Every structure is written in C-alpha cells, then in structure tokens.
Amino acid sequence: MFGFGKRHPIREISPGELHDRIADREVIVVDVREPGEFAGGHIPGAINLPLSRFDASQLPKAGDKTIVLNCAAGRRSAMALRKCADVPVDTHLRGGMGAWNRAGLPVER
C-alpha cells in the first residue's frame, strides 16, 4: 500500500538447478557470507558481498542473467533479499553452502 516496503516474493533455487544454470551462464552468484567464510570455500565464480555491509546498489549489473544470493544455510541470503526491494533480485540458494556441499558440487578456494 502506498508503495512502502515493496517486496518481491522470495524464490529458492536448489543446488542442482543452480549448478546447471551456472554451467549455462544464466546466473551471477553473490555470496553474502563474511570474507573468511568465503575464503574457506565458495561456489566457483561467486562474488563476495558480505551481509554485514550489504548494499543492494553494489550488486553487479546482471543484464539478462539472474542474480542468486547464497550464504551458509539460507538465512543470511534471505535477509539480504529483504534489502533488495528496489532492485530486481529475488532468488537465493535453498540451504546455502551446506546444501551445495551435501550435493557434492564443486567448491573454489
């Protein structure tokens, strides 16, 4: 109402679907964990924008790609999505890096 607090519905993507979409070059992955966590292992090609200083205006220009946020378990990426009301970002990795690792998908260090 009155345009305040606009929110996009939050969309979740599975680790397998994200892996396929990365291979097809359809997504940009933004990891909102802290730098030390990111350095310990992240989705190959991911960009690190920690939640502690997250600013949606700093997200990369996506063009025709979808930006997908991720964190350790999905909570922080959902919190970051709430800060994206004025940008077209609405997707995060369901279960975060924990789910990615359990699926046996590649990790970059």
Catalytic site positions: 71
Beta bridge pairs of residue 28: 67
Convert 24-46 to b/e letters by CB count within 10 Å (16 or more is b): eeebbbbbbbbeebbeeebbeeb
Rounded to 5 degrees, φ, ψ at 108 are -105, 140
Give CA 73 to chain center in angstroms: 11
Q: How far apart are CA 19 and CA 80, in angstroms?
A: 21
